[in-house]
Structure 1
Amino acid sequence: MAAPDASRIAPIRLFGPFRLSIFDRKLTVGSREIAIGSREFEILAALTETPQEVVSHKTLFDRVWPGLHTSESLLRVHVTGLRKILSAEDRTTYVLTVTGRGYRFAGAVETVEDDKPRWSSEPVLPAMPVRVIGRDAQIEELMEILFEHGFLTVAGPGGIGKTTVSLAIAHRVAGRFRDGVHFVDFTGHSEPNLVPSIVASATEGRPVAAHTAEQLAADLRSRNMLLILDSCEHLIEAIAQVAERLRASAPGVHILATSTEPLRAAGEWIYRLPPLGLPNKTPENEPEDMFTAPSVQLLIERAHASGNRVKFGMSDAAGLAEICQRVDGIPLAIEFAAARLELLGVEGVALQLKESLALLSTGRRTALPRHQTLSATLDWSYQLLHEEEQALLRALSIFRAPVTLEAVAAVAVDTAAVSPGLLDNLARLVAKSLLVVDGASAPLRYRLLETTRVYAFKQLMSCPDYATVAQRHARFLIGVFSKLGSPSGVEHDAVERQTAWTLMNDVRSALEWAFSEVGDQAVAVSLTKAAMPLWRHLMLSNASIDRLANVSADKRHDFQWALSDGGRSPARSSIGLYATLASRQLLAGEDAERLMAAWQNAFTITRDQTEDEREFWALWACWLQNYPAGEHLVALAYATRAHALVANSSYRLEAVCAEFFIAVSEFALGRFASVSRRLDRATQFDHLPMKPSVLISFQWNPFVAMRCYHADSQWHLANFDNALALVKVNFEIARGLNHPASLWCALAHGGCAIALRWGDIALAHTFSEALKEVSAHNPPWGAWGRCLHGWLTIRRGDVADGVSEMQQGLSELEPRAYGHRYPEFVGVLAEALSATGNEEEALETINHAINWAREYNALWHGAELLRIKGDIHFKQGNAEAANTDFAAALKIADEQGALAIRLRAATSLARMRVEQGNFAEARTLLEPMCTRFKGTSGAHDVRRAKAVLASTDPSAPPSAPTSL
């Protein structure tokens, strides 16, 4: 061991009960060492150097975060942490805030010399992190690799936690090396030829000048130590040479390096440090499970360290998960986000991050990159890239989803061929931890971490090649989605549809560019046409379609020119495009003038094309416009015209579809017998080959939709068991189509409601779970599913929970877009509110449903809503009003031939008569109907009617009450 070095006798600072050793980087009270983080230690060291004097924010920034631009809020986090450490041992206030200037150490500090000389080989390590979260398994694995192979590089992007992990390892293994562990930080060094001297200075504990790699290896040949070489990326070649020489000549020297890329030195083992574990934010995951994710644990700990005393509860779980996912689980970014929680709260931070990662900056959202903390970190990596690598990174930032090598080539070099040069540059970006490879997918896919992508995209937008890259990106997407518009259409296999689905965010961003002032509207129209089949296949509600609607209104001539292929005959997809625009405007509640303008475009194109099929779909568009608006007689007239057009033509599938249009309008008008007959005929043609134009226009398989309405009409006609059998068959057929929208239709439009009405709770649960799964990525579908699941919860007896879930679902629904079930959902909610004793709210709710049904002529459900209102009135003690409601319900049910609703209304009226003591009238109401169902059905309504009938015999034992 080397001789003692007098210059290394270190000062000790004493204050209160504390002893601060600057050289050892230790804080002790008596013989006990106090845990203190490296940043808190640096702040304390800086403040105690000049006690009673103000230390500015800038001085502390330079001391704690050299070379980085950070925020005062982050500094406050660590000052708060320091105060907490000191106050745990001594109640004296040592650190004072000087508003607008900095901080001041208020205690008396005595400086003494350490009486113990330091051997120059004694290791100097930064303090052990107070707590390393979520890395235990990785640290253990890294220690095994290090001891087995002796040379390990921990690679990963900036802020991922490489230094933290390496320090944790250093402190754990310090006692296993005779000559200790030595930490070499290359952050502030830029001269490659000084690398051997820098390492020698660290190992000798004194400045060593003009050392070579050979001299260093000779000095350390007999040593047994661990070298931590931190932040190697900017001196990577020189450090690799030194590491190779040491491993060859000094076998007792183990090396642990950290870098954004491997050293690529002989004997090196590479470990890519992943982000912290993210919460599994799925519908099935319970909120408390999210708190076990390491990224969420770190976020909460750093928030508390900043002085935020809020106790995070289950309601915060989704927001905390969103924050961690948005920053990709990168610890540095999580730390910055935690500093904002006190100001903005969980929801505020999550919302801001959803809009922009600029929240994690020190200044305004418009601040320059050099003033943004994460940008400063990424600047370091970006500036180390060669020009070709920078260009490729910028091009990759245009993608929002993981992409294949084919996609990379199309955007980066505008060719399907993958050149060796492109592969080399990709490999270098992967090596430098700027590009992630998804090895689990086939083919391989590449993606940028979101923080990296946002940074690189800012670089792209400031470069002259932005327009070129953006146009290549849009044209690549046109090629991908055009395959789905080919003759086989959406019948492509599930893998191809999934590929297109993952690129939906790319379509949105490409349209944003294409419709901008610097974009290309012709490309925008082509991309919209290409993507439309999958939009409608998946029932997506896209803001990009709304953007398209705006362009068609504001720049009508340019837009029509583009649709007509540059003034030539209109493209075949144009009628569908205009129909899609009009449908979106309709569901968004656009005014009649804009709607008629959209439909007029469809008719204009139709007149130019004389084919019956074009005219048929234009009539369908007019039917679609009038049906949700409640103009059912007008819609019926259009449907009848459409049927007459193709009834005797070769368009057999279109003729069957026209029957369906008629049936839907008749259903809304309460003509259940006609609907049942019509759809019984129509569904016999389900063997006809499905046309892409039909599937795209309907959004789901029309025969699946037909069976839903057929089952519903059968139920209204009191053929309860037939209705249940139909939805069971329909579910199996839809599940086999491998078509999400058709499966959703089978469940939402038919299966769930029929099973719930029938009272088959097990089947309703099966349907509800399937609906939840297919709706996972579609908010409107999910809202519908919440309504149906709330209904199921009510039927199970958890009425209060079911009410809450239905209210949430209804608040998310657009009634005009989903009018078929809306009044039924509101009626179920009103009945449940009444069951919980909320009579006033129940009456208000049912009145809303009745008024809505009247406004939109939802005649099919009018009788049932009046029956529910009668039940509510009777519970309120208003028998006269209830009697009027029941009489009106019975009258409408009889006019419609809706025997199922007559059974319900008669049961409610009979139950009121029983409670009034009028048993004879109650029997007269129910006996004929119950006789009809004797032994033929176990449906809920039949069982309830029979229970009320049994109660008309005063001598009979009371029957068990039935559920809602």
Structure 2
Amino acid sequence: MTVQTTDAVFFGPFSLIVSERLLTRDGAPVELGARTLDTLIALVSRPNEVIGKRDLMARVWPDVTVEEGSLRFHIAGLRKALGDGKDGARYIATLPGRGYCFVAPLSSPANGARRPAATSVPFRGVTFLPARLERMIGRTDAVAALSAQLAASRFVTIAGSGGVGKTTVAVAVAHDLLEGFDGAALFVDFGMLSDPGIVPVALASMLGISVQSDDPIPSLIAYLRDRHFLLILDNCEHVIEAAAGLAERIFLAAPQVHILATSREPLRVEGEHVHRLAPLTFPPDGPGLTAAAALTFPATQLFLERAAASGARVDLRDEDAAIVARICRKLDGVALAIELAAGRVQAYGLEQTAALLDERLTLLWLGQRTAPPRQKTLQATLDWSYGLLSELERAVLRRLSIFAGHFTLAAALAVASDAAIDQGRVLAAIDSLVAKSMVATRPVGAMMRYRLLDTTRAYARELSAADADFADLATRHATYYRRWLEQSGAEWPSLLNAAAERAPRLADLNNVRAALEWCFGSNGNAGIGVRLAAAAAPVFLAMSLLTDCQRWSERAVLALDDETRAGREEMHLQAALGLSLMFIRGSTETARVALDRSLAIAEDRGDAVDQLQLLAPLHIFHLRLGDFKTALHYARRSSAVAEAIEDPAALALAHSVLGISLHITGDLDGARRELEAALRHGSSFRRAGTVYLGFDHRNWAGIALARTLWLQGHPAQAVERARQTVAEAARMDHPVALSIALNWAISVFLWTGDLRSAEDYTDWFISRAETHSLTPYLAVGRGYKGQLAIRRGDAEAGVENLLASLETLHAARYELVSTAFNISLVRGLAALGRSTEGIAVIDEAIRLVEANGDASYMPELLRVKAIALLSLPQPTSGDAETCLRQSLDLSRRQAARAWELRAAVDLAALWAGQGRPDAARALLQPVFARFDEGSDTADLKAAERLLATLG
């Protein structure tokens, strides 16, 4: 933006009224000289834009020639007045050789707030940034320059050698810019990943996006497309191809997303601007170096500060300055290497530390001729630092390298201890390693989490892989996370409403993935892997991580042996495999075989609870397949099993499953009884409904009850229940639950004639489907758009959308909404004068309903067939009347008063057109009179209008 000279602008605690030449801080005037104030106004007038020194001097001194020193003087005074650089505040960046840039976020009174109003979709989730260092040495100008560059170009990669401080600088830049993004920022550490193929999955998990396809990138782009968002991709070098492709696609498709990446090499993709982060500067080699001169270099400052933090007292004297300078030069100014060396001063003193450093690094350089120079230095530093550890510290460090990313203290004690090193000694070693900067810490809530720096972990992991007891270590690691999953599995569904608690749990799943990689690797233990995958599968499902679920369940099924085959592990794995395949690839035969196999094992084992939890997925599978008779069969079996269990949660699940099937098959009274019974069980129901399904059966019961209420002639209650169920699903923040609720709620609004709500919910439904890769639901959403178009008179567009939707759904074997869409398609074809084609469609739909069992739609099918017959060029009113009478009769047998009213309106209209108004009124009036609510709905308004014309 460009600030006009009469504007008032705000930044941080400051207000600048340009026209009055007044700068205030929290309401109090700030005294500035005239030229200093002119300098501020010039910078503020072009925020986030580099203003050259000559240009700036020309604006501040338009009629006077001055030296560049005058400008530097006023810039320094302005920074002092603003407190630039204190407590993390950043206002003015210096770009060497180019000029100055105002980088703080600005707002004006027109925005109605002290910071810019958000114009894009806000980030729904938890801002996830590591804490910035309390004091960062030598990077002030780099942070300011990067902040300006990222604000201007949107995509910057910080490139540099390992340990140079790329992550530290990136975190500082993110915190500087956080306010301008309204807190919408996410830090993603790719260093914990070993498989480039799961780079987009890791990002989706951190964003809370369920991954339900083989390619999650379209979901990520759909989620980020309209968001003003800051994304930090850290440690890209070892997954650079995947990270580069992901960053480029997000940059090109999401114009308000700013990407800051760190890598040892540029990503080399479109849109990227590379910022080379140089090592910290250190004193040159030469005589006469004083302590005062040495302290002007950031590398020296960092060394002394870290040495003091580790307990060493170093009062730098002139005679010590050369020693410190030599150490910093030896380490090439690499921040990590300097920190490791400084941590040894407390134990060995300054001179001995320098001597040991010289000795160790010199030897190692001789063996690393093919490595890049800075990698030689960092590798040597790690080797040297490792050599200074005690044997206990070395052993524990090697063992901790088994962890991928962060880990808890409980995990470290369980995995790193054994008969040789008990938990007390492990705890002491961890405490020492933290103090020596070999293990990093990060608080998460009230708990501390730990991790090895990436370079340290790689170094120690290479050593640990050669240990004779590595297999035992990996076994303990996998076993710990299997037990962790088993103990915490029941808690995962409750995290759907707690994003702050979910984030660290999702990060812990990286250790589960790492353990599974080892288990199923060439030197792993497949037996442990089978048990770990079986424990992980329900969690993957609960978090909608369906790609993970499918991948590891499939691997585990292939690894089954005589001990695990036909046991509880295979039962869990087959169920998870079937469900994940169903959502990712549709109702495939492979998915059905897996679910059938799981149920067969449960039956052989004689466990009624397991049978119930497996009958429910099979019920869902056949509902999606459109085989409603088979779904009803599984629902009745669920009820029989639940009655034998006599557990409230089991009964609730069975009531829900049976109620849904009875609703679809036309037994509305029975459906209502079952669904209301299901909802009465409250929280115990939710516990049963999420074991395998990854979504809430209570939610589905609520929306099925809404449709049942409408069919029974209670439109107002139906709308209230639909809105309530959608709201509950939205609070869960779970894509499948919300999509199911929206899917059926849309039909309620279409039935009542509330097209605006139907359209709003359809847009919401499509948005969820796009973001979370719910591919069949995208086709369903298009079908709803077609229904809306026909209802609004655009039959041509409506028919086109419905035909395309049905084609896609048939291919995916998703037939749950086919009958409803065919009904609308026939109405659209009739409006286009294609009634003969419409009659063929309706006859086929009637045949399929008779074969498959969704009989609740039969009265409406017969009524719509009558409409098509009457719209023929030569209407067959006799056949149409027969269809309408059949529709009335079937509606009454089903107690479907909503269908009965529609059929009565159409038959009454037909009779009125034939000159039989008395018969028409006698038919319609009693049907209309039985409705005591919903007078504003479309069908009741139509009946009222027709009755008025009949007298």
Q: Give the TM-score of the pair, scaled to structure 2.
A: 0.52
Which residue is equivalent to 2:691?
Answer: 696
1:903 paired to 2:901: yes
Which residue is equivalent to 2:89?
Answer: none
2:601 to 594, 599, 604: 604
Structure 1, residues 334-369: CA drift from partner, whole Å, max 9, x if none? 6533599xxxxxxxxxxxxxxxxxxxxxxxxxxxxx
The alignment partner of 1:938 has SS state of: coil
Q: CA deviation at 1:674?
A: 2.0
Given residue 536 of structure 1, which amino acid in structure 2 is its aligned partner? L
Q: What's the C-alpha RMSD, in Å, of the aligned pairs?
A: 6.6
The alignment partner of 2:853 has SS state of: coil
Given residue 744 of structure 1, which amino acid in structure 2 is its aligned partner? L
Which residue is equivalent to 1:668?
Answer: 664
1:657 to 645, 653, 658: 653
Q: CA deviation at 1:548?
A: 1.9
Distance 2:373 2:493 in 1: 44
Ranked by relative contact order (alpha carbons within 8 Å, sequence separation 6 or more), the top structure is 2
Which residue is equivalent to 2:609?
Answer: 613
Given residue 940 of structure 2, which amino acid in structure 1 is its aligned partner? V
2:944 to 943, 946, 963: 946
User: After the TM superposition, which residues 383-422 of structure 1 pair with which residues of structure 2 at under 5 Å, given as runs?
Assistant: 386-387=382-383, 403=406, 417=427, 419-420=430-431, 422=433
1:529 paired to 2:534: yes
Structure 1, residues 470-527: CA drift from partner, whole Å, max 9, x if none? 87875565455334225x6644683444433455677567645644545443343333
Distance 1:547 1:448 in 2: 26
User: After the TM superposition, which residues 510-549 of structure 1 pair with which residues of structure 2 at under 5 Å, given as runs?
Assistant: 511=516, 514-545=519-550, 547-549=552-554
Q: CA deviation at 1:714?
A: 1.8
Q: CA deviation at 1:712?
A: 1.7
The alignment partner of 1:696 has SS state of: coil
Q: Check 1:322–1:599 CA distance in 2 against 1; reply closer, same or farther (3 A cut).
A: farther
Contact 2:160 2:264 in 1 (8 A): no
Q: Check 1:802–1:503 CA distance in 2 against 1; reply closer, same or farther (3 A cut).
A: farther
Which residue is equivalent to 2:261?
Answer: 328
Distance 1:908 1:399 in 2: 70
Which residue is equivalent to 1:187?
Answer: none
The alignment partner of 1:542 has SS state of: helix
Q: Check 1:786–1:408 CA distance in 2 against 1; reply closer, same or farther (3 A cut).
A: farther
Distance 1:643 1:688 in 2: 19
1:758 to 752, 761, 764: 752
User: After the TM superposition, which residues 688-767 of structure 1 pair with which residues of structure 2 at under 5 Å, given as runs?
Assistant: 689-690=684-685, 692-697=687-692, 699-731=694-726, 738=732, 740=734, 744=738, 747-748=741-742, 750-760=744-754
Q: Check 1:705–1:271 CA distance in 2 against 1; reply closer, same or farther (3 A cut).
A: closer
Given residue 575 of structure 2, which amino acid in structure 1 is its aligned partner? A
Q: CA deviation at 1:903?
A: 2.6
User: Unmatched 5+ residue regions in structure 1?
Assistant: 1-131, 155-164, 175-225, 232-256, 296-314, 341-374, 431-436, 565-569, 954-964
Structure 1, residues 56-83: CA drift from partner, whole Å, max 9, x if none? xxxxxxxxxxxxxxxxxxxxxxxxxxxx
Given residue 489 of structure 2, which amino acid in structure 1 is its aligned partner? G
Which residue is equivalent to 1:500?
Answer: 505
Which residue is equivalent to 2:59?
Answer: none
Structure 1, residues 210-257: CA drift from partner, whole Å, max 9, x if none? xxxxxxxxxxxxxxxx999999xxxxxxxxxxxxxxxxxxxxxxxxx9
Q: Check 1:784–1:148 CA distance in 2 against 1; reply closer, same or farther (3 A cut).
A: same
Q: Check 1:629–1:613 CA distance in 2 against 1; reply closer, same or farther (3 A cut).
A: same
User: After the TM superposition, which residues 278-317 of structure 1 pair with which residues of structure 2 at under 5 Å, given as runs?
Assistant: none
Q: Check 1:339–1:714 CA distance in 2 against 1; reply closer, same or farther (3 A cut).
A: closer
Distance 2:161 2:773 in 1: 42
Q: Check 1:393–1:631 CA distance in 2 against 1; reply closer, same or farther (3 A cut).
A: same
Q: Check 1:381–1:775 CA distance in 2 against 1; reply closer, same or farther (3 A cut).
A: farther
The alignment partner of 1:328 has SS state of: strand
Q: Check 1:445–1:849 CA distance in 2 against 1; reply closer, same or farther (3 A cut).
A: farther
Contact 2:414 2:476 in 1 (8 A): yes
Q: Check 1:621–1:730 CA distance in 2 against 1; reply closer, same or farther (3 A cut).
A: closer
Given residue 721 of structure 2, which amino acid in structure 1 is its aligned partner? L
Q: Check 1:718–1:381 CA distance in 2 against 1; reply closer, same or farther (3 A cut).
A: farther
Structure 1, residues 376-395: CA drift from partner, whole Å, max 9, x if none? 99979976863489999999
1:484 paired to 2:468: no
The alignment partner of 1:531 has SS state of: helix
Given residue 536 of structure 2, which amino acid in structure 1 is its aligned partner? A
Distance 2:475 2:258 in 1: 29
Which residue is equivalent to 2:854?
Answer: 858
Contact 1:389 1:425 in 2 (8 A): no
The alignment partner of 1:170 has SS state of: coil
Distance 2:452 2:805 in 1: 35
User: After the TM superposition, which residues 338-377 of structure 1 pair with which residues of structure 2 at under 5 Å, given as runs?
Assistant: none
Distance 2:849 2:434 in 1: 62
Q: Check 1:944–1:500 CA distance in 2 against 1; reply closer, same or farther (3 A cut).
A: farther
Given residue 539 of structure 2, which amino acid in structure 1 is its aligned partner? L
Contact 1:514 1:521 in 2 (8 A): yes
1:933 paired to 2:931: yes
Contact 1:663 1:675 in 2 (8 A): yes
Greater displacement, 762-771 / 621-630: 762-771
Distance 2:76 2:780 in 1: 50
Which residue is equivalent to 2:891?
Answer: 893
Distance 1:531 1:789 in 2: 36
Distance 1:811 1:425 in 2: 64
1:778 paired to 2:772: yes
Given residue 942 of structure 2, which amino acid in structure 1 is its aligned partner? R
Contact 1:639 1:658 in 2 (8 A): yes
The alignment partner of 1:526 has SS state of: helix
User: After the TM superposition, which residues 861-876 of structure 1 pair with which residues of structure 2 at under 5 Å, given as runs?
Assistant: 861-865=857-861, 867-868=863-864, 871=867
Contact 1:622 1:635 in 2 (8 A): yes
Contact 1:839 1:872 in 2 (8 A): yes
Q: Check 1:939–1:691 CA distance in 2 against 1; reply closer, same or farther (3 A cut).
A: closer
Aligned residues: 652
Which residue is equivalent to 2:96?
Answer: 169
Contact 2:626 2:852 in 1 (8 A): yes
Distance 2:484 2:900 in 1: 54
Distance 1:810 1:461 in 2: 58
Q: Check 1:594–1:657 CA distance in 2 against 1; reply closer, same or farther (3 A cut).
A: closer
Given residue 535 of structure 2, which amino acid in structure 1 is its aligned partner? A
1:561 to 560, 563, 567: 563
